[in-house]
Amino acid sequence: MRAESGIFFYLAGVINDDTMKKFPFYFLVLYLLASCQGTKQAETQALSVVDMTKSYPEKEIVLQDIADVEYIPLETTDNFLFNGVAAIVSDKYIVTIGHQSEDVCLFSREGKALTRIHRVGNGPGEYKDIATVDVNWEDGELYLKEMNRQKIHVYSLDGTFKRSLPYPENIWLNQMYLFSPEYLIASRDFTPSAGSDAGFHPYLLVSTESGQLDSLSYVQKKCVQVKLIINEQAHLYGYMHEPSIICNGSRFYIGNADSDTLFTMEPDFALKPLLVRIPSHNEEGNQYGLFLKGVAGPYLFLTKQPMEIPMNSIDHLDLQNEEWLYDRRTQEVVRYIFKNREDTSKPVSGIMFYRYPEDCALVILKSEDLVEAYEAGELSGELKKIVSGMKVDDNPVLMLIQFKG
């Protein structure tokens, strides 16, 4: 789970179309956020509709006008240095993942450092790296999925190892959330070469006790991915994989790039249509995908993404996308630019939707940026008070945004 401006990104390589069967290949994986599959019957119902051919207006929105904003400064100590993402915010705790130190850190809801889990290695109860985590607060269990090994480890909240949940080597899971005390829900990754598998089930339930896998009934008919054109003459390409499980508190949304419909997932795993795009992504000449980034309050956060992107370098990858805000009350769609009333230095960017309270999103405010804005006189209110005692190498401030309505 790696974040930069709301997009998950890690490199494992590229795919050469002509030599894919003959040479080992790696995957360039970029997690955006997804659209999903529906039937013709669902798409003909009275659904909210987004027209991909329209040019929607740009709109500046002050977050405090549509949301309640809370700032949480994370305590800085020698053992608690933040270098990753705030994966979980509950009513009592915050869980962060460090992708350089491979730590899982537990903070109080107010940001006080509590527990650090660092069990890197190859032995029992140890992990090589971290993809994602989730927590069963009632049972006091933390589930950690490795990125490059097919293992899920279970720890107590103080870091004591309890058990591992291995799964078959031919199944590659990416996202993972706790769906119920009995099950984790995960999305199954597959490569473009597997796109012809008409029986592919991308969503799985994982037993929290045994690790047993059960497929949900959803069937993905084909692989639809954004192509990164690295060297067209050499037929060298990368592909972007979009997370297709969206979490909003206790609610889940399922998406898949091979369909035009976004869904809500009910507690019994039934899918309820939420929104449909027109024209269909299957229509000839379609150049754009529509991906669901997050859901909070009455708003759907959407990304219009070109399906082919020239790529000169990884460090300067321009996704050429548009970020849309869809208001389900008015059916208004705008290209949003968020502003923070207490920080006039720049627009708000990097909004994320992970395991947060209902209707919440989160932004990580880096200490060096905050100190610079403070010294320039661009901060006010509660944020100014917090930053007045900060240093540039302190842990960041979390900006928790709870959308109204």
Residue 143 confidence (pLDDT) above 90: yes
pTM of the predicted structure, to 2 decimals? 0.84
Residue 280 confidence (pLDDT) above 80: yes
pLDDT in tens, 183-209: 999 998 664 444 444 578 889 999 999
Closest CA to 258 of 292, 229, 222, 284: 222
Percent of the chain whose predicted confidence (pLDDT) is above 70: 84
Write b or e for each residue in 359-371: b if 16 or more Cβ atoms lie within 10 A of its Cβ, otherwise e. bbbbbbbebebbb
Ramachandran bin of 111, using left for φ above 0, alpha for ψ from -120 to 50, beta for the remaining angles: left
Distances in Å between the Cα of 84 and the Cα atoms of 101, 123, 232 are 9, 24, 34
pLDDT in tens, 296-354: 999 999 999 988 888 765 566 777 899 999 999 999 999 999 999 999 999 999 999 99
Instruction: Please tell me the predicted confidence (pLDDT) of residue 198.
Output: 55
Residue 148 confidence (pLDDT) above 90: no
Long-range contacts of 228-231 (CB under 8 A, 24+ apart): 228/14, 228/28, 228/30, 228/309, 228/311, 228/317, 229/308, 229/309, 229/310, 229/311, 230/14, 230/311
Mean pLDDT of the chain: 84
Instruction: Please tell me the predicted confidence (pLDDT) of residue 316.
Output: 64
Q: Where are the beta strands (DSSP E) in 179-250?
A: 183-189, 203-207, 213-215, 226-231, 236-240, 245-248
Q: How far apart are CA 338 and CA 344, in angstroms?
A: 11
Residue 60 confidence (pLDDT) above 80: yes
How wide is the angle at C-alpha 255 spanned by C-alphas 148 and 28, nearest 5°?
35
Closest CA to 236 of 400, 394, 16: 16
Distances in Å between the Cα of 291 and the Cα atoms of 41, 56, 244, 379, 391 are 21, 16, 9, 34, 38
Q: Where are the beta strands (DSSP E) in 19-112?
A: 28-31, 48-51, 58-62, 67-73, 84-89, 93-98, 103-108
DSSP state of 122: S
Instruction: Provide mean pLDDT across the span 152-158.
Output: 96
Tokens 């206790």 correspond to: 250
